[in-house]
């Protein structure tokens, strides 16, 4: 248990002090949602990357996590979750692209329930182990095609996608609750963050920041 606590707390470039500096940098970069910032301050990001990369976990960079996937840089995570959270208190959230599980861990501090879908089975297994290690119990993981979302738990008042789509999958639009928000990267070579809001009249779309994500792929591995 003592070793586990030490691992979570980190030392040097993985310490709580380094994590707090990351949060201060996010504030300087324009992130204003204190709930999101506190969530990111409480989740040890270094747990979710390979030990060889742990010293860079709190830098403002994306890092490889295997299988051609990356953990998004902290600013992008914070920006997407700030947009998702600005519509009101989040009850049920769907994440497309669990990856290493870091964003799901942050979401678990902001939302009551998190449903997360990942198409790559070994990544999902690693994410499950990391979330279990941190005793996070309000995240439900599923091995499935992200294009199909998750009927289990729908409708969701928040949907966030960690892969770039050329168009918004219809299944995700159908699973977004009235009053809900979806945040996702749209595009191919050139990508933009997109905020989709649903009300009783339909959907509205706001195109925002330029981003770079791996593509959303069909099927499962």
List the catalytic residues: 72
- If you write DSSP's letter for every residue of 118-154 in order, what string do you get? ES-HHHHHHHHHHHHHTT--SEEEEES-GGG--STT-
What kind and span of H or E run contains 173? helix 170-175
Torsion of CA 68, 154, 157, 177, to 10 degrees: 120
**Euclidean distance between CA atoms 1 and 18, whole angstroms:** 23
Q: How far is CA 37 from the centre of its chain?
A: 14
Q: Name the CA radius of gyration of the chain, rounded.
A: 16
Q: Which residues lie closer than 8 Å to 88 by C-beta, 6 or more apart?
A: 157, 179
Say if residues 40 and 22 touch (Cβ distance below 8 Å): yes
């Amino acid at each position: 248990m003592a070793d586990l606590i030490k691992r979570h707390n980190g030392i040097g470039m993985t310490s709580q002090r380094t994590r707090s500096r990351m949060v201060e940098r996010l504030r300087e970069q324009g992130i204003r949602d204190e709930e999101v910032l506190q969530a990111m301050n409480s989740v040890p990001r270094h747990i979710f990357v390979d030990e060889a990369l742990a010293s860079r976990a709190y830098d403002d960079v994306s890092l490889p996590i295997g299988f051609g996937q990356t953990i998004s840089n902290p600013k992008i995570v914070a920006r997407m979750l700030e947009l998702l959270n600005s519509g009101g208190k989040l009850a049920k959230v769907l994440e497309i692209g669990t990856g290493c599980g870091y964003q799901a861990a942050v979401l678990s501090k902001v939302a009551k329930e998190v449903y997360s879908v990942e198409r790559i089975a070994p990544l999902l297994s690693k994410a499950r182990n990391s979330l279990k290690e941190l005793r996070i119990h309000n995240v439900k993981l599923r091995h499935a095609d992200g294009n199909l979302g998750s009927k289990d738990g729908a409708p969701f008042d928040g949907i966030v996608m960690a892969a770039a789509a050329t168009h918004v999958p219809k299944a995700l639009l159908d699973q977004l609750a009235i009053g809900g928000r979806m945040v996702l990267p749209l595009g191919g070579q050139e990508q933009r963050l997109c905020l989709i809001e649903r009300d009783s009249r339909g959907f509205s779309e706001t195109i925002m920041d330029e981003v770079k994500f791996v593509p959303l792929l069909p099927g499962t591995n």
